[in-house]
Each structure stands twice: as C-alpha cells, then as structure tokens.
C-alpha cells in the first residue's frame, strides 16, 4: 500500500478517529485545528471548583472507542476506562410520575409495567423489535458509505431490504409509538429518542425506534474522568502514534488544481498533501474552504438539526433523587417540537435534561455540591433574539425544576455559564449551531446526507457529524472509520 501525506481539517472526534486509523496504517497525518484544544464539541470547562463536560454527555457503544486502540495495537487500559451504568436515566413527568430506568432488561420491563399502563410483554416486544431494526440496518446505514455502489451488492443489503416492511419507514416515530402504547407518558418516553439525532418525533420516521436498543440493550456507560476523557485518550493515542497537530491555526482554503486536491492554505502558508479530509461542518467546508468549486446546494440547504441551550450551574446542594442522567418532560411534546422546527423558537415549557457528572466523579464539584449540565433542545441560529429567549427560558426552566424537585433551584446556583447556538456555531463551526448536521425529519434523510467523499474533487474526503452517517459520538467515530477504510482501499 502506498503511504500518503494526509491533512485533516479539524480535531473533532471523527477527525481524531480517522487520524488514528490512517497513521496506524503508515500514512503521515497532520491535523489542523482552529481552536487551542482537540475534541470539537466534546470538551470541558472548569470554574470555582466545578468541572463540566461541555458537549455530548451520553456514552454508548464503547467498543467503537476500543477499536481505535486495537487498530493502533495499544492497550486501551493504559489510556481509557469506563463503567456501565446500572440506572440509565431518571424521568420526571408533569403529572408527578417518576421513573428510574434500570439497565437490566428484565428489571426495566417489569418496572415500566408497574409504573405505566402497559404489560411487560408489550415492553419486551417493543425492545425486541428495536433490536431487530438495528441489527438488520446498522451494517448498511451506519457502518458503510451509502454513496458507493458496492454497498448495495451485499448480503447485508439483501437483509436490510427484506426487513423494510418491519422498519416503519412510512410512519412517524410518534405515530408508531402511539400505535404500540396507549399510555401517553410512554409515547413521550420513546418519542424523546428522536432528539438523539436532533429531529422531531412527529416528522422523523418510525425506524428511529431502533435507537432505544443502543441504550437499553447495549448499555450506557460513564468514562472515568468524564466524557472529556474520550477526547483526551484519543488525542494522546494519536500523538503516541506520531500524528502531528497544529492548533490555533485556521485553514482558509482547500487548495486544488482542476479537480484534484493539492493541500491546504492557512493565513501563514500553503501546505501540500496527497489527501485532505475535512472534519469541519460540510456547509462552511464549501462556503469558506472550497469557494472556487460548485457547492452541492440541495444538500447544503437541507433542514438542519436542533441545537442546544445549555446552562452550566454550580449547585450548593446534593439531590439524592437525581442520577447522572435526568429528564424533566414538558407537558405537551407536540407544542415543544413545533416551536423548535416550525416556529424556530423555544416553547414556554421545554423538556429539560440535567446531567450531573459529580454523581460519578465527586471531584467534579465542591463537597456537598453538584455540577448541573442543564440542557434543552432549541432551534438553530437563524437570527433569533437569543438574549431575550435565554432570559425567558432560564426563568421557565428554573420554575419547572423547582416545582418537580420541591426546591427553589435559583437560590442554590453559585456558579453559572451559558452556551447557546451562537456560541456552538462560533466554537465548532457547526452551521447554525446544529448539533447533528442535517435533521432526520424524512425517511430519505440517510441518503440525502453529504457523502464521506467528494464526487467531483479527487482525494477530498469528509467526516464528522454533518456528513454520513450522522452526529453524536458513535456515528462520528464510524464516520472516521468509513473515511479511513475508503482511503486505505483506494491506495
């Protein structure tokens, strides 16, 4: 195999994964990052004795991280460790219902049957169907390029095609859940999985009911040291392999000659390369880095996924009824998602997610305190009056949490910082601050995402949450894998 000089633009999780795989195969990999740190959205901040993971807070499919150490022939235990959570998440409903979801499948279905108006068998059947959907489609839709002809001539594709009648692609996730469950609380419970790819349960197809399988059957985990340790471990691994990093350096252009990549240009220099991989959002990749080339306008103008409004709160009290993951549901989910995707605003009663890493790492907060990563789903940045929205939403969130927890939360806040779609867009170059690139509010969404390669410029590739297979830690890791395997196969 011919060894190549490869430049990766962006040190996000997908970029790190691609760098590790390619350097392990003998290529010379150089990573340029505009920020002073690696990880993209998966980073951290600390203040006044509190440490916060700033971005993704749910860890599933840990084998995708371990694979990278296997590729590098390095012991994962020297870099990274994690444990499985016994409680997946605590849920709070507006009617006073609370539900602590156990990770054990039998215990979960039994407890759900006792809490909600549903039989244990109905719960078991739903999760079995979720597993079948995942197993019959993951190898095609998540692990391979949907934009290469060879993908469609495989046993896996035949398996996926035979499963189509059972995938619920012609109905929305919400309608599918309504057909299964009579209890509106359970419908809302399973509708929330649409948020795992930044979509609306009233628009995204029913095939997304496979997502609960990742959480319930395959487990949720907590990395020792917090989510940011995923970034730190992969960054250290990449450096140990010989990957070179250039931080605080913004790439201004992907240089080409005709329809072939030459390298990249920064403010200070041009750097040649045989191959360039953009781990930047696909929209600014074209708008800023490839101005000389025709952009795939139809792809770039797709509806974007939701963004996030996050309050990082230092709380001077501990709440035994809370765990690492906690969800406080809105009263009317439909109103909430209509506000996000149709009205491009925030409803007065948003669903609130509170992540408290100090439940697992006591050192993440001062003694007797907790670090609350308090997040809601919001629309992307399209010019809203965010300062006004944030002020009103903060009051609504505090009112909601105070009511459901029986405490005046505002009086307990000793530290606060805020991240909104503007900040996400600025820090990560994610177009409109979207968390997952394009939304999945269509049954064709998987096919409409930008491919992991350029069809018009040779030796130009793309990885990360804005391209196939999508956003979130597992899919970004798979994105890096798909790109690395394409490059190795083409050499």
Strand ranges (DSSP E) for 356-407?
370-378
Question: Do residues 335 and 292 both lie within one domain?
Answer: no
Please determine, for residue 155, whether its predicted confidence score (pLDDT) is greater than 80.
no
Residues 352 and 239 in one domain: no
Task: Clarify whether residues 292 and 202 are in a common domain.
Answer: no
Mean pLDDT score, 275-297: 95
Mean pLDDT of the chain: 93
Q: Are residues 187 and 258 in the same domain?
A: no
In which residue are the tokens 């990749």 written?
285
208 and 154 assigned to the same domain: yes
91/163: higher pLDDT:
91
Q: What is the pLDDT of residues 428-455, one digit of tens each?
A: 999 999 999 988 887 666 567 899 999 8
**CA 119, 121, 122, 123 torsion-angle sign:** positive
pLDDT (0 to 100) of residue 223: 97
pLDDT digits (tens, 9 = 90+) for 289-325: 999 999 999 989 999 999 999 999 999 999 999 999 9
Q: Compute the residue count for the chain.
A: 491
DSSP class of 305: P
**Where does a domain end: 216, 242, 264?**
216
Same domain, residue pair 325 and 402: yes
Q: To the nearest 10°, the Cα dihedral for 415, 420, 422, 425?
A: 100
- The answer to whether 204 and 191 have CB atoms below 8 angstroms apart is no
* Average pLDDT estimate for 208-224: 92
216 Cβ contact partners less than 8 Å away, ≥ 6 residues apart: 88, 101, 103, 105, 108, 127, 130
Least trusted range by pLDDT, from 33-37, 139-143, 236-240, 362-366: 139-143
Give the mean model confidence (pLDDT) for residues 463-481.
93
Q: Cα(241)–Cα(30) distance, rounded to whole angstroms?
A: 12
Domain finish residue from 164, 190, 216: 216
Residue 168 sits in which domain range? Answer: 105-216
**Residue 68: closest CA among 56, 55, 80:** 80
Q: Is the pLDDT of residue 338 over 70?
A: yes
Residue at which a domain ends, from 216, 243, 268 = 216
**Single pTM value for the model:** 0.93
* Count of CB atoms situated within 10 Å of the CB of 166: 12
Q: Is 299 exposed, middle or buried (0-12, 13-18, 19+ CB in 10 A)?
A: middle
| Residue 435 placed within a domain | no
CATH value at residue 36: 3.50.50.60
User: How many domains are contained in the chain?
Assistant: 3
Q: Identify whether 181 is part of a domain.
A: yes
Q: Is residue 89 included in any domain, yes or no?
A: no
Cα–Cα distance for residue pair 416/371, rounded to 1 Å: 10
Element (H, E) at 355: strand 352-355
CA distance 171 to 338: 18
């Amino acid at each position: 195999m011919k060894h190549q000089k490869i430049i990766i633009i962006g040190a996000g999780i997908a970029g790190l994964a691609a760098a590790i795989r390619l350097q392990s195969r003998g290529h010379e990999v150089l990573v340029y990052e505009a920020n002073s740190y690696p990880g993209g959205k998966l980073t951290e901040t600390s203040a006044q004795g509190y440490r916060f993971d700033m971005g993704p807070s749910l860890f599933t499919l840990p084998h995708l991280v371990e694979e990278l150490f296997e590729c590098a022939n390095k012991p994962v235990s020297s870099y990274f460790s994690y444990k499985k959570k016994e409680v997946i998440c605590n849920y709070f409903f507006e009617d006073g219902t609370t539900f602590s979801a156990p990770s054990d499948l039998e215990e979960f279905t039994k407890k759900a049957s006792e809490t909600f108006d549903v039989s244990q068998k109905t719960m078991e059947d739903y999760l079995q169907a979720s597993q079948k959907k995942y197993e019959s489609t993951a190898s095609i839709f998540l692990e391979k390029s949907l934009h290469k002809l060879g993908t469609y001539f495989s046993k896996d594709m035949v398996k996926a095609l035979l499963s189509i009648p059972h995938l619920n692609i012609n109905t929305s996730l919400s309608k599918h859940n309504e057909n299964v469950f009579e209890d509106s609380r359970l419908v809302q419970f399973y509708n929330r999985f649409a948020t795992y790819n930044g979509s609306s349960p009233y628009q995204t197809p029913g095939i997304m009911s496979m997502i609960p399988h990742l959480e319930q059957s395959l487990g949720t985990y907590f990395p020792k040291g917090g989510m940011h340790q995923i970034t730190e471990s992969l960054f250290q691994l990449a450096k140990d392999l010989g990957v070179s990093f250039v931080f605080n350096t913004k790439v201004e252009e992907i240089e080409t000659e005709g329809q072939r990549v030459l390298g990249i240009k920064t403010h200070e220099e041009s750097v040649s390369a045989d191959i360039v991989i953009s781990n930047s959002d696909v929209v600014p990749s074209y708008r800023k880095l490839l101005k000389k080339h025709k952009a795939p306008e139809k792809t770039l103008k797709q509806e974007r996924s939701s963004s996030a409004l996050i309050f990082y709160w230092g709380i001077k009290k501990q709440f035994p009824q809370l765990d690492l993951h906690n969800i406080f549901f809105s009263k009317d989910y439909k109103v909430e998602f209509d506000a996000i995707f149709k009205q491009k605003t925030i409803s007065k009663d948003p669903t609130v997610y509170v992540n408290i890493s100090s439940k697992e790492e006591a050192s993440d907060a001062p003694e007797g305190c907790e670090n609350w990563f308090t997040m809601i789903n919001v629309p992307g940045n399209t010019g809203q009056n965010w300062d006004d929205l944030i002020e009103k939403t903060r009051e609504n969130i505090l009112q909601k949490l105070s009511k459901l927890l029986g405490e005046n939360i505002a009086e307990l806040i000793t530290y606060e910082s805020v991240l909104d779609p503007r900040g996400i867009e600025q820090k990560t170059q994610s177009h409109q601050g979207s968390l997952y690139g394009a939304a999945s509010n269509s049954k064709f969404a998987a096919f409409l995402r930008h491919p992991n390669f350029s069809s018009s410029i040779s030796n130009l590739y793309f990885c990360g949450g804005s391209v196939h297979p999508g956003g979130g830690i597992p899919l970004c890791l798979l994105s890096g894998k798909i790109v690395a395997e394409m490059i190795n196969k083409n050499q």
